[in-house]
Chains A and B, each alone.
Chain A
Amino acid sequence: MIAHSVFFYIFSLIAIVSAVMVTVSKNTVHSVFFLILDFISISCLFIMIGAEFLGMIMLIVYVGAVAVLFLFVVMMLNVAEQKGQWFSSRWDGGTHIPVGLLVSLIIFFELIVVIGGWKYKPDLLNSLSINISTEVTNTRSIGNVLYTDYIHLFQISGMILLVAMIGAIVLTYRERAGVKRQSYVKQISRERDEGVDLVEAERNKGVKIDV
């Protein structure tokens, strides 16, 4: 049990320190690396409380896919210069501070509500209709709940993601003129008759080729 709590404190310390470092570090790419470290230590915490499925999904989805795209964007867009402007240039009246304050206040109140509910209703787990047994693996129990009781919510969230994806494609798609496309079928099905053209060449005249 001692080892368990030692590992818990190690992982949570790493998680908190790296979360702070995400916002503090000057280099944006370093921020993303700290974010990845944060994700990894949080998935370690998930595994420590026995939610191994959530921990692994956290690794696969957030670290394996989302953070890679973050890194991509940060490396390509040269955010470093932008950030340098924000930090070094003279006071611009703090236009972005009210929005930031609003968002963090909302998150703060949400956290208070959640933690308060947990504190004043300690039998929250028992009051739900789901019975959690330790017999089955948590992959199976998540599946049992997600695909039966919450199937509509699950499908709705899937539809929302699909709409978001289509929206992103529509917004960024530009049809460019003069793009040559390759058609495998056309290339493979080319016959000798249409590929080769025999021309009678007159001397000293040359041949005109239609392209």
Chain B
Amino acid sequence: MDSYFSILFTEVYKILFLLVPVLVSVAMIVWLDRRVWAFVQKRRGPNVVGPFGLFQSLADALKYIFKEIIIPASSNKLVFVLAPVVTMTLALISWAVIPFGEDFVLADINVGILYLFAVSSLGVYGIIMGGWASNSKYPFLGAIRSAAQMVSYEVSIGVIIINVLLCVGSLNLSEIVMAQQNLWFVIPLFPMFVIFFISALAETNRPPFDLPEAEAELVAGYQTEYSGMMYAMFWLGEYANILLMCAMGSVLFLGGWLSPIDVFPFNAIPGPFWLIFKILFLFILFALVKATVPRYRYDQLMKLGWKIFLPFSLFYVVLTSSFLLYFDLLPGK
């Protein structure tokens, strides 16, 4: 029992060591998002609070904390309060399996990629619960849209993951990274990387696929009735999910913590920094897409997911596996 508690305490310490940086970087990433967005549109963006406006997110967070939380009288109160909690929790627990370096991972589980996939597929519940419990038309419509969208795009993400797994022969995230030592999967599986990126945009409800919160049609979608800290939790969860998708993309396709070329000035930089650079690179791509592309129509979104991405990635599974089989490259015999 004693050893059990000592293990528990070291684990809690490790978890805090992971979660606090993630939460701080979520706040920073919101600032970065708004900054990139502004620069593309030739505006200045948030630049007043602190140097370059770096403390803008802190100021926003303070404002959210001190605002009143309004719970609609006709809402289903328990579910209404639970929804942001679920979103936030699910966004944070998936960070447990992301490997930041060799032996630098909180939980090095055998089915790491399945865990990530499972947790990201649970993310839809925060939104459905919020939309349903608000007992109001716009949130409900937003929630229904979001559920359909996330379920559809998960299918193509799953098939893309199968492509990567065929080349690795393991579901462990560290092994997926180590399999890319010679060649990052972004090169042989480039079309899959593009589809993964677009599906990640849809999965995290980012523009151009932000139909669940299309402000011109649905006010703010499932968040309409939320205020104060509960709204901020939805928002934090959403950005933590975006960061997670970027991390997943860098682990699956961009070689995780590995340096691009294994020569001196590059491999001297520690692995976690490489992973952070890659996450930031993908995130800036996310922000650029947000700034430049107009919103999709709902039927176009569904058509893209089911009629284009799914058949194409299924075809690519067949292609990858026949290539590996023909050249006798199948791993793990």
Contact = CB atoms under 8 A, between A and B. Distances in A.
A76 to B, nearest CB: 8
Interface stretch (B39-47, B122-130, B211-219, B222-230): B122-130
A42 interface: no
A2 B4 CA distance: 9
Contact of B128 (A3, A57, A60, A71): A71
Interface string B99-124: 00000000001110011011101101
A64 B121 contact: yes
Given A60-B117, A64-B122, A139 B111 contact: yes
B122 A52 contact: no
A56 B114 contact: yes
A72 B114 contact: no
B121 A65 contact: yes
Contacts of A2: 1, 4
A52 B111 contact: yes
B132 A29 contact: yes
A2 B1 CA distance: 8
A56 B111 CA distance: 8
A33 B79 CA distance: 10
B138 to A, nearest CB: 15
Contacts of A72: 144, 147-148
Contacts of A29: 132
A35 to B, nearest CB: 12
A75 B109 CA distance: 36
Contacts of B122: 59, 63-64
B114 A68 contact: no
Given A3-B4, A71-B147, A64 B118 contact: yes
Given A52-B110, A57-B114, A68 B4 contact: no
Given A3-B4, A52-B111, A72-B144, A59 B132 contact: no
Contacts of B110: 52-53, 137, 139
B151 to A, nearest CB: 6
Interface string B155-178: 000100000000000110000000
Interface in B79-94: 79
Interface in B284-330: none
Interface string A7-21: 000000000000000
A72 to B, nearest CB: 6
A64 B132 contact: no
A2 B2 CA distance: 11
A53 B114 contact: yes
Contacts of A65: 121, 151, 154
A137 B332 CA distance: 12
A52 B118 CA distance: 12
Contacts of B144: 72, 75-76
A3 B3 CA distance: 11
Contact of B114 (A3, A60, A63): A60
Nearest to B125: A36
Interface string A22-64: 0000000100010010000000000000001100110110011
B151 A60 contact: no
Nearest to B140: A75
Contacts of A69: 151
A68 B129 CA distance: 11
B206 to A, nearest CB: 20
B288 to A, nearest CB: 24
A3 B332 CA distance: 35
Contacts of A139: 110-111, 171
Nearest to A53: B111
Given A3-B4, A71-B147, A56 B121 contact: no
Most buried by B among A52, A60, A140: A60
Contacts of B148: 72
A69 B152 CA distance: 12
A137 B108 CA distance: 14
Most buried by A among B4, B122, B148: B122
B128 A56 contact: no
22 contacts: A2-B1, A33-B79, A33-B129, A52-B109, A53-B111, A53-B114, A56-B114, A60-B114, A60-B118, A63-B118, A63-B121, A64-B118, A64-B124, A64-B151, A65-B121, A68-B124, A68-B151, A71-B128, A76-B144, A137-B171, A139-B171, A140-B332
Interface of A: 2-3, 29, 33, 36, 52-53, 56-57, 59-60, 63-65, 68-69, 71-72, 75-76, 137, 139-140
The 7 A-B residue pairs with the shortest CB-CB distance in the complex, in nearest-first order: A64-B121, A59-B118, A56-B114, A60-B118, A137-B110, A52-B111, A56-B111
Given A3-B1, A36-B125, A56-B111, 12 more contacts: A33-B129, A56-B115, A56-B118, A60-B117, A65-B151, A71-B132, A72-B144, A75-B140, A137-B170, A137-B171, A139-B171, A140-B332
